[in-house]
Amino acid sequence: MSSKKEVSFLDLVKVVGERSEKKIRKCLHSILEDEKTVELIKHGLNKHSNTLQSLRKNTETISQQLNLPTKNDVSNIAKIGLQIEEKIDALEEKIYHLTEQLQNQDVSTTSKLPETTNEDHQLRNDRKELRRLLKTNLLLGNITNQDTIIELLNSINSRGDKRD
């Protein structure tokens, strides 16, 4: 073999990379030291910023004219979606607690009163109606009848309290 050192490919790439980095760094420093160049860059960035701002405004205007959703519309819809999820969770929790109360009341009333009354029949019908409304709302993905559901839950709860 010869007296020359064998240089691996990775070492060669490393040396070339370091030299290139030094040259680029020197070039950038020389550009940034010139005040005229810095002012020109600053002016260019300001123009770019103004252009982006006017582009956003124009996009919003065109979107409204074409009846397309804007970023604000999408973010509002996302917020509303989160609020709906929270309301559904709260309703599910209320329903769970009410059904537990009703089951406890059913157990205690069946041992006291073997026969059913009109009030019991109405309570069962209201529970069936409540289940139907909840299933419909969950399937359709809307809470348009939220007030109706809450009123029904409150009436079932108040009638259950009167029975105790």
- Identify the pLDDT of residue 1: 43
pLDDT tens, residue by residue, 36-85: 888 998 999 999 999 999 999 998 899 888 988 888 888 889 899 899 99
CB 82 within 8 A of CB 126: no
- Identify the pLDDT of residue 51: 97
Query: pLDDT band at residue 13, thresholds of 50, 70 and 90?
Result: very high
Residues 6+ apart with CB under 8 A from 68: 62
CB 149 within 8 A of CB 120: no
Domain boundaries along the sequence of the chain: 9-65, 71-163
Amino acid residing at 121: H
CA pair distance 142, 58, nearest whole angstrom: 34
- Identify the pLDDT of residue 114: 47
| Class of residue 156 by CB neighbours under 10 A (exposed 0-12, middle 13-18, buried 19+) | buried
User: Is residue 35 scored above 70 in pLDDT?
Assistant: yes
Q: Over pLDDT 70: what percentage of the chain?
A: 74
Query: pLDDT band at residue 18, thresholds of 50, 70 and 90?
Result: very high
Q: How many CA atoms lie within 13 A of 150 on its CB side?
A: 9
Q: How far is CA 140 from CA 101, 132, 136, 153, in A?
A: 28, 12, 6, 20
Can you give the length of the chain in residues? 164
> Which is more confident, 160 or 35?
35
Structure tokens belonging to residue 3? 């007296």
User: Would you tell me the crossing angle of helices 35-65 and 9-33 to the nearest 10 degrees?
Assistant: 90
